[in-house]
Structure 1
């Protein structure tokens, strides 16, 4: 009897092994390679991240409203800061489940195939992805993120530690990238130009150094000294702009795709009024003329209107975004030369470098105007105005207000800079629900409470209540 039981167990084991082998074979797609291709992964990671950055949830329906570059002309709840814990899931889910996982795979492939340029490019993009996440949410999974075999419920790292880690990652990326090394494919930002990727890695290091500058000025200066001592370059001309240039439908810019089927947004009255007051030649680029002719031609919509208030103003007498932004091929800008110049101006103003802040500030304005094809004559007239001159006694105001204009359309980055510099000073509508405050962070996705509950609770205990009004570590008042 005992022997029969043993034989039965052996038979069951063989049967189970056979079934597993057959099921494994059934689950193999004979038409798909089992080895991931880094070029395909790279293209997908770039597009997925750019779409999340430039798309509806994280840009048009939130951060662009917070910085009063856009406003809602219907379904205005978001413009009044009415959100739930399901409102901000896209940035989190896309970047963690798609972008970062794909970029980790590219890093692995680059290491195993002795192609460091794949590794360096992916590490640069992964750093940008984590930067978007921590700028928006604060404390986030970083050191344990994307390691699903080791950490099913990854811990949240403090924002300070995330920034420190990203500075190290970007230095590693910069040192890994080799313009004379093996070529890469699938690069839809720089078409395999590794020198430009090195410039972007250093430019992101500068961006992060300024993020931490109010909390850790000595550390910020150390980062800039390190870049200088290594003789490294930043983005140095408009041709270096890091951007994804979209194609025709269905691969068009998310803004273009949105306006193909909906008409929920207008340009904010705040930025239109500012551009008009400066006689800014970017106004016809940023805004369209009203559909029904008006004396002003360009009319911004106030932020925070109720649905009935917005309806009473109407669609035809307020300005949509400009044709430049509604074109399918309009680029999703990741890092512009103009932003880089303003960053260098601020670093000089803070005493981190010996460069001339006023000169760099003016160069930043010129670079932005030239980025949008403004004529030399209009550029000269604009920078000659008293209202556009650099004020060394309040560099945050001068740089903050012009940077806000430069970053038009880049909602997440404009929002981060406005929180950090506290300019422009914006007034929320009386209809908003945060007692006169503008959101200073995204709230965590509700799925984190159910799927990663303990880590979520630890983060909230450390950082503060999971509210739109909880100030992040970098955001010093």
Structure 2
């Protein structure tokens, strides 16, 4: 596995606050790690992670948006065979593997140089972000290089570690990162002043308490993934670690975790999701804006529950019946049916809906939000729904009383996220915002109240927590996962897809062209990329296909 090192030069550093990683990457010797100040590459590393997760070509979000039935193919483009058939090849989304390891090298340099040269806080951030990236790889590929990874030219053919073993160590690394921060806080004296983290931290602005909260929320994400296997020892470990996590001194995130490198209306500097699927810096439609549209399945979820987010997330299409003077055109939300041969386009008689995205720097809300909007790394709604699930399943204390509050706050956080305007700063949603009773009129709050208080939803088992179906020891997991699915739509689709494989909820439709032998006609993972097949074949796990399950995928 050949991994490139990236280095930010002093000249590039001066633009880090307002630049995307795409034009800051400077490839250096792949076989020799250079000495570089961690502060010089942290911004680029974080920006690259955000882009890889959400909007790059390829990105984890775009892959998951297709397979999780958020997106379908429009009739104006051919291709997309692997999205429609799930007959994956070693070239399908191959860039995710190498790009993520490339990014991991950034963090490895920061961690190594930081620990050795008086940057312990930078090193701790890098340690947390390595966990973030490794989990993404495990969740989509299974076994991956881990213990022998990131060694450059000294080991270009690393062994593959078991996914379950990696997961266990990810929790160790997060605990270690928190401990590193605490030790640095405690030992800082007049003779040892750790170099502070400043504007190069484009996520939390150097607030190490927030990094500890993020690490705890990552722990919860990891533990929930592990929580439904048949491994008795693992189940016991998860139960014990969940109990300790709930009472962790530092708590959890209270805001969307986002990266803001200083997006601007300039080529290579716009929000990557917006740039790829909305409009270019020149103001023209992005090429892929024409290629993907919402599925009818996801549209119907919002329609059937009278969900106000429908109009915020999508443009309305139209259907024309008849011709000439007798033609009648009716506004309608129209999406694609996965695998259909005559997918809708953008002209009469059937005009498809699109992901909403205004062509302006001040665009407000929605999925594509705006060209200067920060990029999500973890939505607060995801965390709150995860916490609600842990409570209803008695992995956390509090039971359904606490679960209901976190469930409702998860929905509210989603409304706030999707209705909040694009911003050049790291706008946050904190706990007091969610709990305040004086929020009427704030972005998304009135719409949230309409949604949860509507007469039609008072007994709706897909909205009303009190009326949700109880699923044995899993409690009200189904309604939590369902609403989480709606909240993560096209922004954090990776987590929705992972939740589906873990819980089999919600019941996603498969493409009519699916070649999957599974009962749900869906795949379960990505294929190892051609580069690994060509250069590290001796270490590749044998017998794996796109239908081989990840270790935590045990529910069908």
Do Structure 1 and Structure 2 share a fold, with TM-score over 0.5?
yes
User: How far does residue 102 in structure 1 lie from its aligned partner after superposition?
Assistant: 0.8
Q: Which moved more, 1:351-360 or 1:123-132?
A: 351-360
TM-score (norm 2): 0.73
Structure 1 position 247 matched with structure 2 position 264 = yes
Separation (CA, whole Å) in 1 of partners of 2:241 and 2:299: 37
Query: Structure 1 residues 252, 340: CA separation in 2 closer, same or farther (over 3 Å shift)?
Result: same
Aligned residue pairs total: 434
User: How far does residue 337 in structure 1 lie from its aligned partner after superposition?
Assistant: 1.3
Separation (CA, whole Å) in 1 of partners of 2:244 and 2:60: 33
Q: What corresponds to 2:89 in structure 1?
A: 84
Q: What corresponds to 1:184 in structure 2?
A: 197
Separation (CA, whole Å) in 1 of partners of 2:90 and 2:170: 27
Q: Which structure has the bigger radius of gyration?
A: 1
Q: Deviations over 1:240-288 (max 9, x none)?
A: 5344464333222233222323321111111111001111121122212
Q: Deviations over 1:22-80 (max 9, x none)?
A: xxxxxx99xxxx64232231112112222222134344653111111111112332331
Match for residue 258 of structure 1 among 276, 294, 304: 276
Q: What corresponds to 1:314 in structure 2?
A: 345
Structure 1 position 371 matched with structure 2 position 417 = yes
Match for residue 224 of structure 1 among 242, 253, 257: 242
Match for residue 529 of structure 2 among 423, 445, 459: 445
User: How far does residue 447 in structure 1 lie from its aligned partner after superposition?
Assistant: 1.8
Q: What corresponds to 2:132 in structure 1?
A: 128
User: How far does residue 319 in structure 1 lie from its aligned partner after superposition?
Assistant: 1.4
Within 5 Å, which residues of 2 pair with 1:373-392?
373=419, 374-384=443-453, 385=457, 386-387=459-460, 388-390=463-465, 391=468
TM-score (norm 1): 0.85
Task: Indicate if the aligned counterparts of 1:200 and 1:242 stay in contact, CA closer than 8 A.
Answer: no
Q: What corresponds to 1:299 in structure 2?
A: 334
* Unmatched segments (≥5 aa) in structure 2: 1-27, 186-193, 278-285, 321-328, 358-365, 420-442
What SS does structure 1 have at the residue aligned with 2:383?
Answer: helix
Task: Indicate if the aligned counterparts of 2:318 and 2:331 stay in contact, CA closer than 8 A.
Answer: no
Separation (CA, whole Å) in 2 of partners of 1:379 and 1:254: 28
What SS does structure 2 have at the residue aligned with 1:223?
Answer: helix
Structure 1 position 337 matched with structure 2 position 354 = no
Q: Which moved more, 1:148-157 or 1:166-175?
A: 148-157
Separation (CA, whole Å) in 1 of partners of 2:121 and 2:469: 41
Task: Indicate if the aligned counterparts of 2:318 and 2:333 stay in contact, CA closer than 8 A.
Answer: no
Match for residue 325 of structure 1 among 367, 372, 388: 367
Within 5 Å, which residues of 2 pair with 1:105-254?
105-178=109-182, 182-185=195-198, 186-215=200-229, 216-236=234-254, 238=255, 240-244=256-260, 246-249=263-266, 250-254=268-272
Q: What corresponds to 1:474 in structure 2?
A: 552
Within 5 Å, which residues of 2 pair with 1:9-158?
35-54=35-54, 55-59=56-60, 62-73=63-74, 74-75=77-78, 76-80=80-84, 81-96=86-101, 98-158=102-162
* Unmatched segments (≥5 aa) in structure 1: 1-27
User: How far does residue 121 in structure 1 lie from its aligned partner after superposition?
Assistant: 0.5
User: How far does residue 82 in structure 1 lie from its aligned partner after superposition?
Assistant: 4.0
Select the structure that is richer in helix: 1
Separation (CA, whole Å) in 1 of partners of 2:209 and 2:498: 27
Structure 1 position 393 matched with structure 2 position 470 = yes
**Alignment root-mean-square deviation, CA:** 2.4
